[in-house]
Structure 1
């Protein structure tokens, strides 16, 4: 019996050559709409879907393949006499190969001014139905959804007259992944349209961006998946201009770095190590901002990641070049700067990122995996400035201290809890991240800031549970503190601050970062 293929594709990459080869192998081809037109135009003989079903395409193409003569031909089990008899009794011919890819729903909703009507019209119904029918019956039917699989199918057909069961099973698995991802995008779109913020089912879909050599450690296998609807301001969308492939830890650190710099509008440089800022500098020029960030901690920056929110010029590049850095991220680089940075630095990863889309990135949810589930939350993008502060001590901060406290509060938000930061108005001086008690974080930050404490201020990501924190701060000579407040022992901390003539500001908002 002559074998039959059904071909209906929106992505016509390679389809003519594929169909020509099928015809050479003696296959009949059923086709629809634009695919049939394209194949007929090149001389590939096809059978119209109408001639198989006995019904015309109708309702603007919404109804054409949803018919027993199509799905019966796809779903019938060849090993069951009852199925074979049903096909014979109802004049249904088996379909042995399905090549379908779907209406471009993703491409449609990514258009800047897409309408709801356009989005709905690009939801494919017949395509997923045929794919699922064929994939369910993969014992007998070969189903292809990806043009990259044409070659293996043609090779097996030419050599064996049929595909192997192993190939059909793998292709079926790919189909179900494909249709699941397609439906997930539709579900996400409709969920957003109706304003549902806590759906009873969370449908997420991601696409493989990069298989990784390993994860956090060499014994851990890992891969990098990108959201199916890309975020322009993200590491997955950054353009790599130089250097080795990004590693698992590179990507996590780089992501942390580009989150931090979103909170700074002046020329700013953030240096980061192990998910914590080790230096933040703000100035009137990006070169001076680099100076401040580097001077903040010239030891920890070694092997770190640097992100700059202005174009990297030659002068700044000259200063960065002697330092061993893993990654540099910026919106752009002058030709001279790029030449300097890449000179004898073939491994230095240099990324160019679309900083114009920073604001849009803030609406993306954060998803954290836990055993047996996911935690989903909004990003912590709140920035509380002085008009929301409460000054709780007798001493008021000076104007210079207020500027420094604002800088400290922007910066401490990204220090791992328990997080403490010491700064002036333009530069971090000491960072105490991730300790199991807050006074330990205070001591680490003070030790790092050491001989640069004159005029410095301190920020804490959460309240002080005991007055001993303030006592340590007072010993260091720091005269202004910013913290959320909210402890049952707040008054103890306030009294300790008043005792030492320290100004203390409560913001009313904490910034835990686990």
Structure 2
């Protein structure tokens, strides 16, 4: 290795690297700000203009885009014609490239950034050099990540060269890096241009952690997060205590978080296998949890509980009484932490619930493809709510109907939710027919079904669900409406004295 080209935006670790290379007699070519930092640190450098014979122009937009640079990167050392052409044009090969890119991600994360700022932080020369060097990885070592400096130096110090295996891995990392960089730019410009579903869909995610396994032990898995994702996400939660999250933990925790975001009054949510098993509102979080636990004291065991306020000592005393996988809240009092951390394995997560939840794209993979849709962030206030029966809901029924509508949106279809005194009392999920889900919810509610409210995620294709509700003594129903046989359900509800509300909005969740 004789020549290295160093041009970095992130200067972390670059001076020690350059000094180590210099000690090995490697000539260092550098550009702009990087060359100033290295020179100030006593490193002897060759300026990029000395190599190209051309000055940096256009405010630095053009400095490395030159045949003397790219021929030195792309020439195959084993190809006699290539080496002859380098000699003919007095071009020296470049053996090591250390480049990282303009901070485009950091720029667009800044809420005060301008569109012009974003455009100026789209790197052109950097990715071009990285890709050229990575393409020629058999002859050129390319480093894009400061974490790899030590690896490269170790191999140079030990054997005078970087191994072919390492060069190949570093090249693969470069192409992942530039692909991710370009994906962020493409996404930003696509949104700025107002295009919703472009002809090519490019996304990028950063690894958060490897997981022990996926849904089952024989499935390998890892957890990735959006580079610029929402703060109100499990991907950006902070774990205070407990074992590492599993694949299923993450899915269930996200389900719990998506539900608790629905509420502004003190509320708690218990989730088991992606479905709520108890949801309630109270005057305090302690009251909300008591009602959540009472909703299904069997299923909550081994589940996940989420709150929309600080977990206090009083709440923690009750949480400690049963086995829970995870507790999620914006914060925990110190007294609550002292109690809950006595349990070795319980996972305690804090996550922000503040700010407006923007509608984002929801991705679902299929074998060989990807489905993309807006997240279902619509709620009761977005619906076209109207009473379609002769009897109007009472004030108490309205509160129960609203809760049923918020919860049923998060239950696997076909979904039926029963509520009473702003607490779920029965949940029927994932059945092949709606009346079957209603039967499960009613059986779970038992005698409490009397004078309760029923929420359905989709319309009733026939009046059998209303019949079933009437037999259980349910007094209020909320559903989207929209069936060609709606009038039959309305007529039967009137006959049974049930008040029924249409929302004009369904909430399928497959």
Give, in angstroms, the shift of residue 160 of structure 1.
2.3
Residue 317 (structure 1) aligns with: 316
Residue among 346, 349, 354 paired with 2:347:
349
Residue 158 (structure 2) aligns with: 159
Query: For the residues of structure 1 that align with 2:49 and 2:150, how far apart are their CA atoms?
Result: 29
Residue 123 (structure 1) aligns with: 122
Give, in angstroms, the shift of residue 387 of structure 1.
8.2
Query: For the residues of structure 2 that align with 1:73 and 1:400, how far apart are their CA atoms?
Result: 77
Query: For the residues of structure 2 that align with 1:228 and 1:385, how far apart are their CA atoms?
Result: 31
Does residue 383 (structure 1) correspond to residue 379 (structure 2)? The answer is: yes
Residue 29 (structure 1) aligns with: 28
Q: Deviations over 1:363-393 (max 9, x none)?
A: 2211110111111111111113498322222
Give, in angstroms, the shift of residue 35 of structure 1.
1.2
TM-score by length of 1: 0.97
TM-score by length of 2: 0.98
Residue 513 (structure 1) aligns with: 509
Superposition map of 1:74-153 within 5 A: 74-153=73-152
Residue 216 (structure 2) aligns with: 217
Decide whether the 8 Å contact of 2:450 with 2:475 is kept in 1.
no
RMSD, aligned α-carbons: 1.3
Q: Helix, strand or coil: the match of 2:417?
A: strand
Q: Helix, strand or coil: the match of 2:280?
A: strand
Decide whether the 8 Å contact of 1:405 with 1:425 is kept in 2.
no
Query: For the residues of structure 2 that align with 1:510 and 1:388, how far apart are their CA atoms?
Result: 11
Residue 438 (structure 1) aligns with: 434
Q: Helix, strand or coil: the match of 1:269?
A: strand
Q: Helix, strand or coil: the match of 1:263?
A: coil
Decide whether the 8 Å contact of 2:383 with 2:505 is kept in 1.
no
Does residue 454 (structure 1) correspond to residue 454 (structure 2)? The answer is: no
Q: Deviations over 1:294-348 (max 9, x none)?
A: 11111111011111001111111111111111111111111111111112x1111
Query: For the residues of structure 1 that align with 2:384 and 2:8, how far apart are their CA atoms?
Result: 57
Does residue 499 (structure 1) correspond to residue 505 (structure 2)? The answer is: no
Query: For the residues of structure 2 that align with 1:386 and 1:294, how far apart are their CA atoms?
Result: 30
Decide whether the 8 Å contact of 1:407 with 1:425 is kept in 2.
no
Q: Deviations over 1:451-498 (max 9, x none)?
A: 212321111111112222111111111111111111122222222222
Give, in angstroms, the shift of residue 59 of structure 1.
1.6
Query: For the residues of structure 2 that align with 1:481 and 1:271, how far apart are their CA atoms?
Result: 23
Q: Deviations over 1:38-87 (max 9, x none)?
A: 11122111111111111111221111111111001001111122211111
Query: For the residues of structure 1 that align with 2:159 and 2:396, how far apart are their CA atoms?
Result: 81
Does residue 337 (structure 1) correspond to residue 336 (structure 2)? The answer is: yes
Q: Helix, strand or coil: the match of 2:372?
A: strand
Residue 267 (structure 2) aligns with: 268
Query: For the residues of structure 1 that align with 2:329 and 2:131, how far apart are their CA atoms?
Result: 45
Give, in angstroms, the shift of residue 276 of structure 1.
0.7
Query: For the residues of structure 1 that align with 2:168 and 2:269, how far apart are their CA atoms?
Result: 49
Superposition map of 1:254-265 within 5 A: 254-265=253-264
Q: Deviations over 1:143-181 (max 9, x none)?
A: 111111112212222222221221111111110110010
Superposition map of 1:195-214 within 5 A: 195-214=194-213
Q: Helix, strand or coil: the match of 2:261?
A: helix
Decide whether the 8 Å contact of 1:386 with 1:406 is kept in 2.
no
Decide whether the 8 Å contact of 1:467 with 1:493 is kept in 2.
yes
Bigger shift: 37-46 or 300-309? Answer: 37-46
Residue 227 (structure 1) aligns with: 226
Give, in angstroms, the shift of residue 395 of structure 1.
2.8
Q: Deviations over 1:207-265 (max 9, x none)?
A: 11010000000011100011111221111111110000100000001111111111111
Query: For the residues of structure 1 that align with 2:165 and 2:490, how far apart are their CA atoms?
Result: 71
Q: Deviations over 1:384-406 (max 9, x none)?
A: 34983222223332222122111
Does residue 366 (structure 1) correspond to residue 362 (structure 2)? The answer is: yes
Does residue 411 (structure 1) correspond to residue 434 (structure 2)? The answer is: no
Residue among 482, 485, 488 paired with 1:489:
485
Q: Helix, strand or coil: the match of 1:114?
A: coil
Decide whether the 8 Å contact of 1:407 with 1:424 is kept in 2.
no
Q: Helix, strand or coil: the match of 1:376?
A: strand
Q: Helix, strand or coil: the match of 1:355?
A: coil
Q: How many residues align?
A: 510
Residue 39 (structure 1) aligns with: 38
C-alpha distance 340-284 of structure 1, shift in aligned 2 (>3 A) = same
Q: Helix, strand or coil: the match of 2:400?
A: helix
Does residue 62 (structure 1) correspond to residue 61 (structure 2)? The answer is: yes
Query: For the residues of structure 2 that align with 1:213 and 1:85, how far apart are their CA atoms?
Result: 53
